[in-house]
Amino acid sequence: MVLDLKRKEIAVLRGGWSAERPVSLISGQAVLDALNTAGYKTRDVIVEHDAPALLAALTPKPDIIFNALHGNGGEDGVIQGFLEILGVPYTHSGVAASAMAMDKAITKGVVQQHGVYCAKSVVVTATPTEILHNPPLPYPFVIKPVSEGSSVDVFIIHNKQSYHNSSVLSNQQQQRVYLVEAYIAGRELTVPVLGNRPLTVIEITPQQGFYDYTSKYDAKQHADFTLPAPIPQEIYATAQDFALRAHHALGCKGVSRSDFRYNSDAPQGEQLVFLEINTQPGMTSLSLTPTSAKHEGISFLELIETLLKDALTK
């Protein structure tokens, strides 16, 4: 079936109410710019935490929705459920896959059943201070919110002293659900999956620390990308296989991106460790998925068009 997207009105949802709102605004603008330049009919929809306002913005109904929202509300099944009720085709994953993938603990439980190796972890409801006073895992470990993206509020705790030296962490006194995970030393890899196809594996080298929110979105402190990742072919193939398994195990649609750590000194079978999956990868000029797609010969516009066609056919 040939789809003439130029005859469709495309609404781009961006903004939202999560901590990743600024990134979503940029991602959505990049999508709008590409579509408008190519002559598509678009509607820019800035999403707030206001269902009646969103309903009004989507009236009359567009033909397709490009979901450029990130984080809570945008990629956890909430907006997907709203759009299902509205009855408008939308890009990326559906309700169930989005909800599962947003919860790091549930994600790990699912992908491990499909042969994907994960680091040891526990889920705790506490403040960071309580976690550090009663460490649930041996040092070093990572503290991360169980349902948050873009490395928001992620902290690596090498020892008790490192906590005391972190004024940012010590000021976090809100009790919430955290995933406490064994820290995996080594190199950082990421693998996008487009449809049924794993794309080029990228190695990420932050200028300092780890690949946190600043490294992802601040051009002045951005990480370096190497693609294809200079790793052994066996590990490269396993990373693509694990990413595809995770994508399918969770029922993801359109595009996803899985993150890994690679430690060549670990025992065989434990060298590549799955960290998490992102069902709404960034679409900014610094984002990993468009970079990987470009290396495969897929332009930014072609990536967007692929996702829109997928939305109309799923």
Model pLDDT for residues 270-310, shown as the tens digit of each residue: 999 999 999 999 998 779 999 999 999 999 999 999 999 99
- Catalytic site includes residue 163: no
Domain boundaries, the chain: 5-91, 100-117+186-297, 121-182
Give the active site residue among 14, 21, 245, 257: 257
Q: Which fold has domain 121-182?
A: Dna Ligase; domain 1 (3.30.1490)
pLDDT value at residue 152: 61
Considering only the top CATH level, what class is 5-91?
Answer: alpha beta
217 annotated active-site? yes
Active site residue 278: yes
Q: What is residue 1's predicted lDDT score, i.e. its pLDDT? A: 43
Exactly one of 148, 276, 287, 292 is catalytic; name it.
276
- Active site residue: 75, 212, 259, 305, which one? 259
Catalytic site residue 130? no
CB half-sphere exposure, 1, CA atoms < 13 A: 7
Residue 25: per-residue pLDDT: 97
The predicted pLDDT at position 211 comes to 46
pLDDT at position 212: 45
Structure tokens at 199: 């794309």
Tell me whether residue 77 is one of the annotated catalytic residues: no
Tell me, yes or no, if 197 is annotated catalytic. no
Q: 15, 16, 18, 20: which is the annotated catalytic residue?
A: 20
Of 217, 245, 254, 287, which residue is the catalytic one? 217
Q: Which residues lie across from 44 on neighbouring strands? A: 12
Burial (Cβ within 10 Å: 0-12, 13-18, ≥19) of residue 186: middle
What DSSP letter does each residue of the chain carry, written as one string? ----GGGSEEEEEEE-SSTTHHHHHHHHHHHHHHHHHTT-EEEEEEE-S-HHHHHHHT-SPPSEEEE---STTTSSSHHHHHHHHHT--BSS--HHHHHHHHSHHHHHHHHHTTT--B--EEEEEE-HHHHHHS-SSPSSEEEEETT--TTTT-EEESSHHHHHT-HHHHT----EEEEEEE---SEEEEEEEETTEE---EEEE-SSSSS-HHHHH-GGGPPEEESS--S-HHHHHHHHHHHHHHHHHTT--SEEEEEEEE-TTSPTTSSEEEEEEESS---STT-HHHHHHHHTT--HHHHHHHHHHHHHH-
Structure tokens at 146: 């169980």
In whole angstroms, give the CA distance from residue 141 to residue 8: 49
Identify the active-site residue in 121, 150, 215, 256: 150
Count of beta carbons in the 10 Å neighbourhood of residue 272? 24
* Token pair 């594996």 in the structure block, residue: 201
Q: Please state the φ and ψ torsions of residue 177, each to the nearest 5 degrees.
A: -85, 120
Quick check: is 263 catalytic? no
What is the tens place of the pLDDT at every residue in 66-96? 999 999 999 999 999 999 999 999 999 999 9
Q: What whole-number distance in Å separates Cα of residue 297 and Cα of residue 99? A: 31
pLDDT score of 168: 54
Catalytic residue among 28, 94, 254, 282: 282
Q: Is 276 an annotated catalytic residue?
A: yes
The CATH number, out of the four listed (3.90.920.10, 3.40.50.360, 3.30.470.20, 2.40.110.10), of the domain defined by the range 100-117+186-297: 3.30.470.20
Ranges of residues in the chain with a pLDDT under 50 are 1-2, 150, 165, 211-221
In this prediction the pTM is: 0.90
